[in-house]
Chains A and B, each alone.
Chain A
Amino acid sequence: MITVSVLTLFSLGFASAGILAIASKVLYVEEDPRIEVVTEALPGANCGGCGFAGCEAYAAAVINDPDMPPNKCCAGGPDVATRVAELTGKAAGDSEPEVAFRRCIKVEGNVAKKFDYFGIQSCAAAKLVQDGPDACKYSCLGFGDCVRACPFDAMWIENDLVHIAPDKCTSCGTCVRTCPNSILELIPRRSRVMVFCSSQDKGKAVKDVCEVGCISCGACIKKCPAQCISMVDERIFIDHKACLAYGPSCEEVCVEKCPRNILRCLNPELMSAAPDTEPARYPEESHVADLNA
Chain B
Amino acid sequence: MDTFLLFISAIFVNNIVLAQYLGNCPYLGCSKEKSVSIGMGGAVIFVTIMATMFTFLIQKFVLIPFHLAYLQTIVFILVIAALVQFVEMFLKKMVPPLYKALGIFLPLITTNCAVLGVAILVQRKEYDFVTSLLYAVAAGTGFMLALVLLAGIRERFEITRIPRAMRGVPIGLVMAGLMSLAFMAFKGMIA
Give the B-binding residues of A (Cβ under 8 A). 4-5, 8-9, 12-13, 16-17, 19-20, 23-24, 27-29, 120, 122, 125
Contacts and interface: CB of A to CB of B under 8 A. Distances in A.
B82 A9 contact: no
A9 B71 contact: yes
A27 B159 CA distance: 45
How many residues of B sit at the interface, in one of the four size bands?
10 to 19
B68 A16 contact: no
Contacts of A20: 82, 85-86, 89
Interface of B: 62, 66, 68, 70-71, 74-75, 78-79, 81-82, 85-86, 89-90, 92-94, 159
Contacts of B79: 12, 16
Contacts of A120: 159
A23 B68 contact: no
A222 to B, nearest CB: 47
B104 to A, nearest CB: 12
A4 B68 contact: yes
Secondary structure class of chain B's binding surface, majority of residues: helix
Contacts of A27: 89-90, 92-94
15 contacts: A5-B70, A5-B71, A8-B66, A9-B71, A12-B62, A12-B79, A16-B78, A16-B81, A20-B82, A23-B89, A23-B90, A27-B89, A27-B90, A27-B94, A29-B92
Contacts of B159: 120, 122, 125
Contact of B75 (A12, A17, A24, A29): A12
B78 A29 contact: no
Minimum-distance CB pairs A-B, first 5: A16-B82, A27-B93, A27-B89, A120-B159, A23-B89
Contacts of B62: 8, 12
B86 A19 contact: yes
